[in-house]
Structure 1
Amino acid sequence: MKDLPEKMRVVELDGFGTPDVLTEAKRPLVHPAAGEVLIRVIATGVNGPDLVQRRGHYPPPKGASDLLGLEVSGQVAATAPDVTAWQPGDMVCALTNGGGYAEYVAVDAGHCLPIPAGVSPIDAAGLPETFFTVWSNVFLDHAIPENGNFLVHGGSGGIGSTAIQLGRAIGLNVFTTVADDEAAAFARALGAARTILYETEDFVPVCREAGGMDIILDIIGGDYVARNIKAARHDARIVQLAFNAGSRVDIDLMPMMLKRISYTGSTLRSRSDGFKARVAQSLRERVWPLFEAGALRSVTHTVLPLADAAEAHRMMESASHQGKILLTP
């Protein structure tokens, strides 16, 4: 590949454990396989699965890079011969299967999207992982109740801030749990109709007073599993995306049956390339225009150098951020 370096800077894992296992290194430049593009990374997003993989509990799929980093923005540097949708020089953001903590990453061409109107190339790095995840789990192929109630747990994080905006843009009444008044103000600015301070207020009676929730998006787990069922109305749908408080619970499932609740969950990384490409196409057609219309915006908490990946992970674990944490090589 002409005019490209032989080696690239990366941040890799020196074992598993605390953020201190994240170390700088140099590796041979990756090359795009069939159907892939090579992206010169401008920025990469830090996400919850990165932390879990760093701890040794989320191994990459077979054939994927062992480097962390599930989303990037940047410029197409090269393409495989069979790729026609993108050309060198195109600016894109992309969902990766790993490898984002680097100067270059090879990505399935079908998982790339143009940078939305009004979003900077750096901020665009914080869009793919959460928008692919929330859109595919909550909205794609699902009937959305008109003027329905949507509860989003963790409204100030990456998943939460994305879910609040999408819910509001689709026409849902968005409720969200947050840690403090500052996070509540942040969530309301994104479109939340009701914020619930989870340390001092029980979300279950709040939701019941509103008639119950039609859709609940949860990243907490633990005792929230049973409480979500109490907060849901009949024929509701509960979507589980993470278990920050634990996945093992003792629960009476009879209320779920009596309310006809659908309980589902998934991890995006394990889905097929074809499915992810379909999500990308749906986002491009139905969601990306909402940025140009002003109904959606990127939400970046801070941007750090790639060399400070350990600090980014510590910040992520403290849950003190509002929006996305990004790294720039």
Structure 2
Amino acid sequence: MPVLPDSAAYASWATPHERATVGGMEAITIREPGAPDVLEWTERPTPKPGRGEVAIDVVAAGINRADLSQRQGNYPPPKGASDVLGLECSGTIAALGEGVAGRQIGDQVCALLAGGGYAERVVVPDEQILPAPAGIDLVDAAGLPEVLCTVWSNVVMEAGLRGGQVLLVHGGSGGIGTAAIQIGRALGARVAATAGSAESLRLCRELGAELAISYSEQDFVEEIKQLGGADVVLDNMGASYLDRNLSALAPDGHLAVIGMQGGRRAELDIGKMLVKRLHMSALGLRGRPVEGPHGKAAIVADVRERLWPLVERGTVRPPVHSRTPMPEAARAHEMLEAGGVHGKILLTVP
């Protein structure tokens, strides 16, 4: 029987496949809730796929603001999900669970996760996997699933955005925002976006925003009147923008709330909604079930059918801000918290 090296030395030389063979992998763990320095690159048991699941050897994982909230102890993973951070990844299929058909070991894919992406291997339901899109580097593909599924499910599947309508995107230079601007333009909508710095506003225009609004110097409610009001607002701020978002909407408009960066409690003016016949939805993505009318399987399938061709043609291609080695995840979290990030920050497996 072979003698295995001690874990520290072993982790320094073994490949992910070799560690998986004997039951170990490296992953980012949270020592305790807190600042970025609580993130540690440590050895964890290698997950194995169950029925209907696929194991992926991770090449890269995308960072999302939800990861920061989880690290701080404010966003626990859904029941049954991995406690390892990471809501999206890319890589190659390493193993297939019972009942999975139409896939092969070695296929290059990206995946929407409920957790587990900051690791050398992750297990995910087969229905949440997308083929790595042609023309995009496999590492960069890690930054696609979460943002594209979030935008598509809220703006298109729920709010029904269509050509000729006006879409207002808050936080236009971030990962979600850059994707939303491009999707809106690809659908034939007129897009307005809010952002902070001059560089961020310039990026919004380059991606297709007809109107780029400085949230620190301009009133987006007044500015959106240039386009006749917004038919759909994609909002990541929550409470602090609620009343102004309702004012910015055109009659029969739809407010899609996907974040709470500006707080979670606010007063809702129902009268304003009644007069303009407004609609409002607040739909997260991580906690949704796999199956069902609002399930992840239906979202991923719709994204694969209707959005993926636009990605492969280069019509929709969210920018990558930076790549950081996964063991240095703390530094990447600090970068996102500091602001000024344009597009996605990706963690690459060493």
Select the structure of larger CA radius of gyration.
2
Match of 2:93 in 1: 76
Alignment pair present for 1:307 and 2:310? no
Structure 1 residue 142: Cα displacement:
4.7
Aligned residues: 329
Deviates more, 1:242-251 or 1:42-51: 242-251
Match of 1:186 in 2: 203
Q: Take 1:160 and 1:298, find their aligned partners in 2: how far apart are those partners?
A: 9
Q: Take 2:173 and 2:160, find their aligned partners in 1: how far apart are those partners?
A: 26
Structure 1 residue 141: Cα displacement:
5.3
Q: Take 1:143 and 1:28, find their aligned partners in 2: how far apart are those partners?
A: 43
Report matched runs for 1:137-216 at 5 Å.
Answer: 137-140=154-157, 142-216=159-233
Contact 1:124 1:298 in 2 (8 A): no
Match of 2:61 in 1: 44
Given the superposition, is the C-alpha separation of residues 141 and 203 from structure 1 closer, same or farther in structure 2, using an over 3 Å criterion?
Answer: closer
Match of 1:285 in 2: 305
Deviation by residue 1:283-313 (Cα, 9 ceiling, x = unmatched)? 1111111123231114110000011111111
What SS does the aligned partner of 2:135 have?
coil
- Which runs of no fewer than 5 residues in structure 1 stay unpaired? none
Match of 2:117 in 1: 100
Provide TM-score, normalisation by structure 2.
0.91
Q: Take 1:92 and 1:271, find their aligned partners in 2: how far apart are those partners?
A: 21
The CA RMSD measured in Å over matched residues stands at: 1.5
- Which runs of no fewer than 5 residues in structure 2 stay unpaired? 1-17
Contact 1:145 1:214 in 2 (8 A): no
Alignment pair present for 1:111 and 2:128? yes
Structure 1 residue 187: Cα displacement:
1.1
Contact 1:178 1:196 in 2 (8 A): yes
Structure 1 residue 145: Cα displacement:
4.0
Match of 2:240 in 1: 223
Q: Take 2:273 and 2:165, find their aligned partners in 1: how far apart are those partners?
A: 19
Q: What amino acid sits opposite 2:252 in the alignment? A: D
Q: Take 2:38 and 2:167, find their aligned partners in 1: how far apart are those partners?
A: 38
Contact 2:193 2:211 in 1 (8 A): yes
Contact 2:63 2:86 in 1 (8 A): yes
Given the superposition, is the C-alpha separation of residues 257 and 94 from structure 1 closer, same or farther in structure 2, using an over 3 Å criterion?
Answer: same
Deviation by residue 1:173-192 (Cα, 9 ceiling, x = unmatched)? 00000001100111111111
Match of 2:7 in 1: none
Given the superposition, is the C-alpha separation of residues 121 and 5 from structure 1 closer, same or farther in structure 2, using an over 3 Å criterion?
Answer: farther
What SS does the aligned partner of 1:140 have?
helix
Match of 1:89 in 2: 106
Q: Take 1:4 and 1:132, find their aligned partners in 2: how far apart are those partners?
A: 33
Q: Which has the higher contact order (CA 8 A, sep 6+)?
A: 1
Q: What amino acid sits opposite 1:236 in the alignment? A: G
Contact 2:162 2:187 in 1 (8 A): no
Provide TM-score, normalisation by structure 1.
0.97
Q: What amino acid sits opposite 1:95 in the alignment? A: L
Contact 2:178 2:318 in 1 (8 A): no
What SS does the aligned partner of 1:239 have?
strand
Match of 2:340 in 1: 320
Match of 2:10 in 1: none
Contact 1:158 1:323 in 2 (8 A): yes
Q: What amino acid sits opposite 2:298 in the alignment? A: R
Structure 1 residue 247: Cα displacement:
1.2
Please list every run of at least 4 consecutive aligned residues from structure 1 whose deviation after the TM superposition is greater than 6 angstroms.
Answer: none
Deviation by residue 1:25-73 (Cα, 9 ceiling, x = unmatched)? 1012110111111100000000011111111111111111011001000
